[in-house]
Amino acid sequence: MARFRYQKKDGEFAAAFASMKDPIAFAGTAAITEAGDIVKRQGRQDIAAAGFSRRWQNALRVNIYPRRKQSMNAAALIYHNIQYAGVFEEGATITGKPRLWLPLPSVPKRVGRQKMTPALYIKSIGPLVSIERPGKPPLLAGKIAINRRGSKTGKVSLSALKRGGAGAPSTLVPLFVGIDRVNIRDRFSIREITERAAARLGDLYLKHLNPDG
């Protein structure tokens, strides 16, 4: 009977393990990175297909951890920079207290960098007048400057509203409509896209572990 004896050398096992660890860490990090890129690309396409702007598309982000390092424990954080974006992933019903006041299409969308709301309008432009309509949603109206003939000066603009709010000859123009609630349907599929990318991690790992295979 033949006998074999192995005598380890100091540091040999650690060196052997390290030689295995490096390609595993590379493949794991590369797989997570590629899956994250898939989610970001397809997710932004999904947001675009739902009719949202470039700003909304680019607000979908993917961060890979640890940053700028290869690790067997690499992970991807997928998030949207706009905090309420999840409403369009899940759908929701938003109720007013007691009403939601939505700007009419003709209303200027912003005052400076802030989104137009009744509170912002009152603070920066002037008072609003409530108009009750039996059987119909109520309105909030503001004062808009009129010309010498007594008619509105073109479209509803911030400058005309500010002149009317400041005391210039004016007439009332509806700006906001009040509703009890609004139902928002789900319009994004980011979770589904993420799950599909996660299901590919095994194949992506093998691809990067053996790039010549």
Asked whether 164 and 144 are in contact (CB, 8 A), the reply is yes
Report the length, in residues, of the chain. 213
- Name the residue range of residue 51's domain: 13-89+186-209
Instruction: Of 208, 189, 147, give the one whose Cα is nearest residue 49.
Output: 189
Angle, CA 173 vertex, CA 168 and CA 176 arms, to 5°: 125
Tell me the residue type at 76.
A
Residue 114, H or E segment:
strand 114-115
Mean pLDDT of 184-213: 92
β-strand partners of 152: 146
Residues 177, 117 share a domain: yes
Question: Would 98 be classed as within a structural domain?
Answer: yes
Residue 144 forms beta bridges with which residues? 171
Q: Cα(123)–Cα(67) distance, rounded to whole angstroms?
A: 44
Write out pLDDT tens, residues 48-100.
999 999 999 999 999 999 998 999 899 999 999 999 999 999 999 988 888 99
CA distances from 145 to 60, 118, 140, 180 (A): 42, 19, 17, 31
Amino acid letter for position 163? R
User: What is the C-alpha to C-alpha distance for residues 203 and 213, in angstroms, rounded to an integer?
Assistant: 12
- What is the model's pLDDT at position 106? 87
Say whether both 98 and 169 belong to one domain.
yes
Q: What is the pTM of this model?
A: 0.68
User: Does some domain include residue 8?
Assistant: no
Helices of type H across the chain: 12-49, 54-58, 87-90, 118-124, 158-165, 190-199, 201-209
108 and 171 both lie in a single domain = yes
Q: pLDDT at position 23, please?
A: 87
The residue ranking higher by pLDDT, 197 or 7, is 197
Inside any domain, residue 59: yes
Question: Cβ-count burial of 59 within 10 angstroms (0-12 exposed, 13-18 middle, 19+ buried)?
Answer: middle
Q: Looking at the domain assignment, is residue 3 inside a domain?
A: no
For the chain, give the mean pLDDT.
88
Task: Mark whether 56 and 107 lie in a shared domain.
Answer: no
Q: Is residue 5 part of a domain?
A: no
**44 alpha carbon, distance to own chain's centre:** 10
Angle, helices 201-209/190-199, rounded to nearest 10 degrees: 40
Q: What is the pLDDT of residues 138-189, one digit of tens each?
A: 999 999 998 766 566 667 889 989 988 888 888 999 999 999 998 999 999 9
Domains contained in the chain, number: 2
Does 158 fall in a domain?
A: yes
Q: Are residues 191 and 174 in the same domain?
A: no
Q: Please check whether residues 80 and 107 belong to one and the same domain.
A: no
Residues 101-128: what's their mean pLDDT?
Answer: 92
The answer on 155 and 83 residing in a single domain is no
Is pLDDT of 119 > 80? yes
pLDDT score of 72? 87
